Amino acid sequence: MNPFTQDGPKLGNQFSDDLAMQNYLKRVLSEKMYKEIEPGLTHLGARAANEILTLGYAAEAYPPKHIPFDPWGKRIDRIEVSQAWRELERISAEEKLIATAYERRHGDLSRVHQFAKIYLYSPSSAIATCPLAMTDGAARALELYGSAELKARAFSKLTSGNPDTFWSSGQWMTEKTGGSDVSLTATVAKKVDGKFTLYGDKWFTSATTSQMAITLARIEGAPPGSKGLSMFYLELRDEKGNLNNIRVHRLKDKLGTRAVPTAELTLEGTAATLIGTEGDGVKKISSLFSITRVWNSCCAASFMRRGMFLARDYAHKRVAFGKKLIDHPLHQNTLAELEAQSQGAFHITFRVAELLGKDELNTATENDRVLLRVLNPIVKLYTAKKAIAHASEVLESFGGAGYCEDTGLPRLLRDAQVLSIWEGTTNVLSLDMVRAHAKERGLDILAKEIQNQLEKISESSLPALGGIAESIKSSLDTAVAMLHKIEKSGSDALEQSARELAMGFGDLYAATLLLSQADWELKSFGKSLAHLCAERLIRAPKQPPVSLLSDRQLASLIQL
């Protein structure tokens, strides 16, 4: 037998090895804040490459189990998770992955600090970030709309940095009737003596091991449609550990996210508390999914970073056709493209984190607020789609090894696939962007923001960056002209073009942010590679369909 064996890829400290992340943080944070948070990020970066990674693999190897009955036939509906999964949750509390955002020690930059931590933790964590995202969203919803009593009982636990008191939360929105069209929610809330109990099926409830959940239900007598829905708080178990009239049917058999307990269940008279006023449930729950969507973006960007680190390390080890992969020009180009996509996703995500922090601390201008609203869906859909394509390319860069489960690599692709599905599909988010534009001219504000940033590029950097800035400007003009032309063709035309517009604006903004980063790096260090990433991201946005297809044309096109 040929004695040759190939060394696999190895991970180093996920913060110390990430120059792009360090340089970004140096740009947006004060020197004092950077110095303050750097040791914690270095510590977490080391944990992510060792302890958290090992736990992540163990959690995947021992997926959750639904135990419907006890040995004597009593219905118990226990969901057993691995010790590793529980440990991952403890670490998340210890590292203050939620608490950092609510302690607000660094004012409106606390969200940047928090998402830097999530970025390091996420790709090693076997998607323990799923319940954490919902926990953060629930904390925000309670902070905004919860009663003093609920804040004292639940908010304090969701935002705790103590693993012994930390609670996680579910977000139970999806029913059999639809995950996207929430207006069809069939769960009913009955009110007796001023107290609510819920009856109905929830079709995808992730993190069913959480202590609490936020959900939607229609109060008896409320009108159909989304305006009849209200938002409720519930606890899964009482003090004795008995389920709150919840019947668990089974755990989902999913393509990825296999360590995450995702259940189908029925609420059979579940005690719940109304949050906010009756009938404003969709509006209120949007405060929750606006947060989970930023987590989604951050996880997507972090997966891309992880894939990039692995592919690059491997390229330095693997020899083919007489030299290492890294020495093959075509492979260099493939890695450069992966790097550009990864850095673009990083910058656009962290820009949203900056705006979110400002919005929460009331330091956002009106422009910032509109920008955040329109960027939230764009960045979620953009990073998710990019992450899936990126993971596929990363796997390919390992050849057959990338296709074998025991290398741990296929997980990158399986897990990435959910990013464009949960928390709003690409099309649903594209339409959300259209609504944000229709209501407040969000895309015009984004275009203005891109223009302003380009104009700020300093004279000294222009020799290196000027050409790229010109290309972005020219693509932006095309995109804006196209947007206005499509708008004139009517709302159906805008809908049909929404995805291309979102992806196009995503590329343009990511490239602009990279250029601003390059400008700062050139002034600070006299060198930068960020603009080379920007250059790769800009291409004229793909031509969206300007002329509207008739139903018949569309049908025959699809059949073709």
Contact segment (CB under 6 A) with ligand MFK among 145-153, 240-248, 281-289, 490-498 equals 281-289
Report the residue number, 359 or 423, with the smaller CB distance to ligand MFK.
Answer: 423
Which residues, other chains included, contact 452 with Cβ-Cβ below 8 Å and sequence gap of 6+? none
Tell me 169's DSSP state.
Answer: E
Q: Is 283 in the site for ligand MFK (CB under 6 A)?
A: yes
Query: Per-residue string for binding with ligand MFK, 256-275, x by CB under 6 A?
Result: -x--x-x-------------
Q: Is 187 in the site for ligand MFK (CB under 6 A)?
A: no
Least distance in Å: CB of 439 to ligand MFK? Answer: 7
Query: Per-residue string for binding with ligand MFK, 212-251, x by CB under 6 A?
Result: --------------x-------------------------
Report the residue number, 382 or 398, with the smaller CB distance to ligand MFK.
Answer: 382
Q: Is 505 in the site for ligand MFK (CB under 6 A)?
A: no
Contact segment (CB under 6 A) with ligand MFK among 162-170, 390-398, 421-429, 509-517 equals 421-429
Burial 438-477 (b: 16+ CB within 10 A, else e): eebebbebbbebbbebbeebeeebeebbeebbebbbebbe
Q: Which of 156, 180, 245, 427 binds ligand MFK (CB under 6 A)?
A: 180
216, 361, 515 from 464: Cα distances, Å:
53, 37, 10
Contact segment (CB under 6 A) with ligand MFK among 28-36, 116-124, 171-179, 547-555 equals 171-179
Q: Which of 307, 424, 442, 544 binds ligand MFK (CB under 6 A)?
A: 424
Burial of 28 (0-12, 13-18, 19+ CB in 10 A): middle
Least distance in Å: CB of 191 to ligand MFK? Answer: 22
Least distance in Å: CB of 217 to ligand MFK? Answer: 14
Report the residue number, 173 or 219, with the smaller CB distance to ligand MFK.
Answer: 173
Tell me 175's DSSP state.
Answer: B
Query: Per-residue string for binding with ligand MFK, 117-146, x by CB under 6 A?
Result: -------------x----------------
Which residues, other chains included, contact 19 with Cβ-Cβ below 8 Å and sequence gap of 6+? none
Neighbours of 275 (CB within 10 A): 22
Give the β-pairing of 75-80 and 65-69.
Answer: antiparallel
Least distance in Å: CB of 269 to ligand MFK? Answer: 24
Q: Is 179 in the site for ligand MFK (CB under 6 A)?
A: yes
Least distance in Å: CB of 339 to ligand MFK? Answer: 29
Position with the least CB separation from ligand MFK? 179
Q: In the beta sheet, which residues pair with residue 231?
A: 216, 275
Tell me 39's DSSP state.
Answer: H
User: How far apart (Å, rounded) are the C-alpha atoms in residues 102 and 96?
Assistant: 10
Neighbours of 255 (CB within 10 A): 12
Q: Is 289 in the site for ligand MFK (CB under 6 A)?
A: yes
SS3 of residue 66 by DSSP: strand
Burial of 547 (0-12, 13-18, 19+ CB in 10 A): exposed
Report the residue number, 108 or 432, with the smaller CB distance to ligand MFK.
Answer: 432
Give the torsion through C-alpha atoms of 14, 15, 21, 23, to 10 deg.
-140
Q: Is 432 in the site for ligand MFK (CB under 6 A)?
A: yes
Which residues, other chains included, contact 362 with Cβ-Cβ below 8 Å and sequence gap of 6+? none
Burial 402-430 (b: 16+ CB within 10 A, else e): beeeebebbbbbebbbbbbebbbebeebb
Six-digit token pair at 178?
A: 């639809």
Least distance in Å: CB of 308 to ligand MFK? Answer: 24
Least distance in Å: CB of 500 to ligand MFK? Answer: 19
Q: Is 421 in the site for ligand MFK (CB under 6 A)?
A: yes
Least distance in Å: CB of 284 to ligand MFK? Answer: 8
Contact segment (CB under 6 A) with ligand MFK among 2-10, 49-57, 172-180, 500-508 equals 172-180
User: How far apart (Å, rounded) are the C-alpha atoms in residues 469 and 516?
Assistant: 10
Report the residue number, 42 or 286, with the smaller CB distance to ligand MFK.
Answer: 286
Q: Is 423 in the site for ligand MFK (CB under 6 A)?
A: yes
Least distance in Å: CB of 428 to ligand MFK? Answer: 5
Q: Is 173 in the site for ligand MFK (CB under 6 A)?
A: yes
Which of 123, 161, 124 has the alpha carbon at shortest distance from 139? Answer: 161
Q: Which of 172, 398, 422, 509 binds ligand MFK (CB under 6 A)?
A: 422
Six-digit token pair at 289?
A: 């999914």
Q: Which of 100, 168, 206, 517 binds ligand MFK (CB under 6 A)?
A: 206
Which residues, other chains included, contact 381 with Cβ-Cβ below 8 Å and sequence gap of 6+? 420, 424, 426, 429, 430, 433, 499, 502, 503, 506
Report the residue number, 173 or 412, with the smaller CB distance to ligand MFK.
Answer: 173
Q: Which residues bind ligand MFK (CB under 6 A)?
A: 130, 173-174, 179-180, 182-183, 204, 206, 226, 254, 257, 260, 262, 282-283, 286, 289-290, 418, 421-424, 428, 432, 435
